[in-house]
Chain A
Amino acid sequence: MADPGLQAAQEDGRTVLYATGSWVLANFGKFPSLAKLPAEAGVALDASGLDALDTSGAFKLMNNLREAGVEPASVEVRGLSDSLLPVWKLVAEHFPDVQKATERKPAGIIAQLGLGAINTFEHIVGFVDFAGRLAVESFRLAKGLRGFRGREFVAQMEAVFVYAIPISAMMIFLMGLVFAYLMGVQAQKFGANIYVVDGVAAAVLRELSPVIVAILVAGRTGAAITAQLGTMKVNEEIDALSVLGLSPYAVLVVPRILALFLALPLLVFLGDVAGLVGGLLVAKMQLGLEFSQYWERLDSVLQMTTFMVGVGKAPVFAVFIGLIACRMGMTVARDARSVGLNTTSTVVQSIVAVIVLDAAFAIAFVELDI
Chain B
Amino acid sequence: MDEIVIQAKDVVTRLGNALIHDGVSMRVQRGQVVALIGGSGSGKSVLLKEIIGLIRPRSGSIDLFGKDVWAASEAELMRLRRRFGVLFQDGALFSSLTVEQNVAAPLREHTELPLKDCLQLARLKISMVGLPPSACPKMPSELSGGMRKRAALARALALDPELLFLDEPTSGLDPISARAFDRLIRLLSDSLGLTVFLVTHDLDTLLAMVDSIIVLAGGKVLGQGTVEDLKKIDEPWLRDYFSARYVEEHA
Give A residues with C-beta under 8 Å from B: 24-25, 28-29, 54-56, 59, 63, 83, 86-87, 89-91, 94-95, 97-98, 100-104, 333-338
B111, A337: Cβ atoms under 8 Å? no
CB contact between A55 and one of B141, B187, B192 (< 8 Å): that residue = B192
Number of B residues with CB within 8 Å of any CB on chain A? 33
B128, A334: Cβ atoms under 8 Å? no
B121 within 8 Å of A by Cβ? Answer: yes
Which B residues from 120 to 162 make CB contacts under 8 A with A?
A: 120-121, 123-128, 132-134, 136-137, 139-141, 157, 159-160
B120, A94: Cβ atoms under 8 Å? no
Q: A94-B128, A335-B141, A337-B96 are in contact. Are A59 and B120 (CB under 8 A)?
A: yes
Whole-angstrom CA separation of A54 from B193 in the bound complex: 10
Q: A28-B113, A90-B192, A333-B141 are in contact. Are A98 and B127 (CB under 8 A)?
A: yes
Whole-angstrom CA separation of A104 from B123 in the bound complex: 14
Q: 17 A-B residue contacts at CB 8 Å?
A: A28-B111, A28-B117, A29-B112, A55-B124, A55-B157, A59-B120, A59-B121, A86-B190, A90-B187, A90-B191, A97-B132, A98-B123, A98-B133, A101-B133, A104-B98, A336-B95, A336-B96
Whole-angstrom CA separation of A104 from B142 in the bound complex: 14
B100 within 8 Å of A by Cβ? Answer: yes
Whole-angstrom CA separation of A90 from B191 in the bound complex: 7
Whole-angstrom CA separation of A297 from B113 in the bound complex: 75
Known pairs A56-B121, A90-B192, A101-B126 / 16 extra A-B pairs, C-beta < 8 Å: A28-B113, A28-B117, A55-B124, A86-B190, A87-B191, A89-B191, A90-B187, A91-B124, A97-B123, A97-B133, A98-B120, A102-B133, A102-B134, A102-B137, A335-B139, A336-B95
B95, A337: Cβ atoms under 8 Å? yes
A90, B128: Cβ atoms under 8 Å? yes
Whole-angstrom CA separation of A187 from B124 in the bound complex: 76
Least CB distance from B235 to A in Å reads: 36
Residues of A within 8 A of B113 (CB): 28-29
CB contact between B100 and one of A55, A63, A101 (< 8 Å): that residue = A101
Q: A101-B123, A102-B134, A338-B141 are in contact. Are A55 and B160 (CB under 8 A)?
A: yes
CB contact between B136 and one of A56, A95, A101 (< 8 Å): that residue = A101
Residues of A within 8 A of B132 (CB): 97
The interface bits of chain B over 173-193 (1 if a CB of A lies within 8 angstroms of the residue's CB, else 0) are 000000000000001101111
Whole-angstrom CA separation of A216 from B192 in the bound complex: 58
Residues of B within 8 A of A101 (CB): 100, 123, 126, 133, 136-137
Residues of B within 8 A of A90 (CB): 128, 187-188, 191-192
Residues of A within 8 A of B98 (CB): 104
Whole-angstrom CA separation of A337 from B95 in the bound complex: 6
Whole-angstrom CA separation of A50 from B34 in the bound complex: 30
Whole-angstrom CA separation of A367 from B171 in the bound complex: 65
Residues of B within 8 A of A29 (CB): 112-113
Residues of B within 8 A of A91 (CB): 124, 128
Whole-angstrom CA separation of A56 from B110 in the bound complex: 14
Of listed B95, B112, B139, B159, residue having the most chain A CB within 10 A? B95
Whole-angstrom CA separation of A86 from B31 in the bound complex: 14
Which B residues from 227 to 250 make CB contacts under 8 A with A?
A: none
Least CB distance from B142 to A in Å reads: 10
Smallest Cβ-Cβ distance to B98: which chain A residue? A104
Smallest Cβ-Cβ distance to B119: which chain A residue? A101
B192, A54: Cβ atoms under 8 Å? yes
A83, B193: Cβ atoms under 8 Å? yes
Least CB distance from A65 to B in Å reads: 14
Q: Which 10 A-B pairs have the closest CB atoms?
A: A335-B95, A97-B127, A86-B191, A104-B137, A94-B127, A54-B160, A101-B133, A100-B133, A337-B96, A98-B123
Residues of A within 8 A of B192 (CB): 54-55, 86-87, 90
Least CB distance from A288 to B in Å reads: 59
Whole-angstrom CA separation of A59 from B121 in the bound complex: 8
Least CB distance from B241 to A in Å reads: 29
Whole-angstrom CA separation of A90 from B159 in the bound complex: 16
Least CB distance from A187 to B in Å reads: 54
Smallest Cβ-Cβ distance to B121: which chain A residue? A56
Smallest Cβ-Cβ distance to B100: which chain A residue? A101
Whole-angstrom CA separation of A349 from B142 in the bound complex: 27
Residues of B within 8 A of A87 (CB): 191-193
B124, A98: Cβ atoms under 8 Å? yes
Residues of A within 8 A of B136 (CB): 101-102
Least CB distance from A107 to B in Å reads: 13
CB contact between A24 and one of B120, B126, B160 (< 8 Å): that residue = B160
Least CB distance from B223 to A in Å reads: 31
Least CB distance from B158 to A in Å reads: 9
Least CB distance from A305 to B in Å reads: 50
Which B residues from 53 to 78 make CB contacts under 8 A with A?
A: none
Smallest Cβ-Cβ distance to B140: which chain A residue? A335
B137, A95: Cβ atoms under 8 Å? no
Q: A83-B193, A337-B96, A338-B141 are in contact. Are A95 and B124 (CB under 8 A)?
A: yes
Whole-angstrom CA separation of A28 from B123 in the bound complex: 16
